[in-house]
């Protein structure tokens, strides 16, 4: 009995690590660019490394760098992080519903470290209940990618040709697409929601009063508008969406 459950945890961990490979690669490319910027903003390589290791968030870190560089108030920094990373709150809410209700507190505290856009996307797409170990496996691969990319960028910004780093950036988006498309095929409701989200996101990026929103805030607003509208139009009974 003990043995099976141990093997099951191990299997979730291994599957998570496999799913984490494209995340880690994509992170390396993005955080490489962050490392270069962090040095330019006056951080040491060690500070850039600790910043990436303790935050594990792209948009928030890039925005935080701007505040640090301008020696802005700590309250401004906190507010920036709150707004840009508010989407993690929504993601954690969604993940909390994927966990078995008996999941102990220490798992919840530990899992929170790995809630990123990509890990969330992969974790929430599993069928049935989510094992914390699946998330840990992804984090174990994605986190090193993120901090090593930062360190490499901070220490040796211009070794890799830029054609490779920017092509690696597509890995993250390829992964997002691979998460969304199967659900789009399976459910017409999701297809409509995704089309609406794409159009709304384009409007908020290019139409004038909205385009002044930061990318992080834009994602929060689009999420509330489109998922909110979809929830009003098509509520969900308790047995659906599991």
Partner 1 sequence: MEGHSIWLYIAVMAGVTYAIRVLPLVLLRKEIKQAHIRAFLYYVPYVTLTAMTIPAAITDAPTVWSGCVGVTVAILLALRGVSLVLVAAIASLSVWLIECFVA
Q: How far is the CB of 223 from partner 1 (least distance, A)?
A: 5
Three-class SS state of 234: coil
Minimum CB distance to partner 1 smaller for 3 or for 163? 163
Minimum CB distance to partner 1 smaller for 101 or for 209? 101
Minimum CB distance to partner 1 smaller for 2 or for 74? 74
Q: Are 240 and 234 in contact (CB under 8 A)?
A: no
Q: How far is the CB of 208 from partner 1 (least distance, A)?
A: 16
Report the alpha-carbon distance of residue 146 to residue 222 in Å, rounded: 26
Q: How far is the CB of 36 from partner 1 (least distance, A)?
A: 15
Minimum CB distance to partner 1 smaller for 148 or for 172? 172
Q: Are 87 and 216 in contact (CB under 8 A)?
A: yes
Minimum CB distance to partner 1 smaller for 65 or for 148? 65
Q: How far is the CB of 3 from partner 1 (least distance, A)?
A: 29
Q: How far is the CB of 151 from partner 1 (least distance, A)?
A: 15
* Tokens (6 digits) for 82: 């709150």
* Tokens (6 digits) for 139: 């984090």
Report the alpha-carbon distance of residue 137 to residue 12 in Å, rounded: 7
Q: How far is the CB of 2 from partner 1 (least distance, A)?
A: 26
Those residues whose C-beta lies under 8 Å from the C-beta of residue 206, and which sit 6 or more positions away, are: none
Q: At what angle do helices 58-69 and 45-55 cross, to 10 degrees?
A: 140
Minimum CB distance to partner 1 smaller for 161 or for 209? 161
Q: How far is the CB of 89 from partner 1 (least distance, A)?
A: 5
* Tokens (6 digits) for 220: 């929060």
Q: What are phi and psi of 15, to 5 degrees?
A: -65, -35
Q: Nearest CA to 191 among 222, 224, 226, 217?
A: 226
Minimum CB distance to partner 1 smaller for 4 or for 54? 54
Report the alpha-carbon distance of residue 139 to residue 141 in Å, rounded: 5
Angle, alpha carbons 104-108-111 (nearest 5°): 135
Report the alpha-carbon distance of residue 124 to residue 156 in Å, rounded: 36
């Amino acid at each position: 009995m003990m043995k099976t459950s141990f093997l099951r945890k191990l299997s979730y961990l291994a599957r998570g690590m496999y799913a984490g490979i494209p995340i880690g690669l994509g992170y390396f490319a993005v955080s490489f660019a962050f490392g270069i910027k962090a040095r330019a903003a006056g951080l040491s390589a060690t500070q850039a490394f600790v910043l990436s290791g303790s935050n594990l968030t792209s948009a928030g870190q890039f925005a935080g760098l701007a505040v640090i560089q301008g020696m802005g108030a700590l309250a401004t920094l906190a507010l920036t992080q709150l707004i840009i990373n508010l989407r993690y709150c929504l993601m954690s809410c969604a993940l909390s519903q994927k966990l078995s209700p008996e999941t102990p507190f220490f798992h919840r505290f530990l899992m929170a470290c790995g809630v990123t856009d990509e890990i969330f996307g992969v974790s929430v797409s599993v069928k049935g209940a989510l094992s914390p170990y699946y998330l840990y496996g992804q984090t174990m691969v994605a986190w090193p990618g993120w901090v090593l990319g930062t360190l490499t960028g901070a220490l040796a910004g211009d070794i890799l040709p830029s054609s490779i780093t920017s092509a690696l950036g597509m890995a993250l988006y390829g992964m997002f697409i691979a998460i969304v498309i199967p659900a789009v095929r399976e459910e017409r409701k999701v297809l409509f929601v995704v089309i609406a989200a794409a159009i709304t996101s384009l409007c908020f990026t290019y139409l004038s009063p909205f385009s002044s929103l930061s990318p992080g805030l834009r994602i929060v607003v689009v999420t509330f508008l489109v998922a909110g509208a979809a929830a009003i139009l098509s509520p969900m009974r308790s047995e659906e969406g599991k």
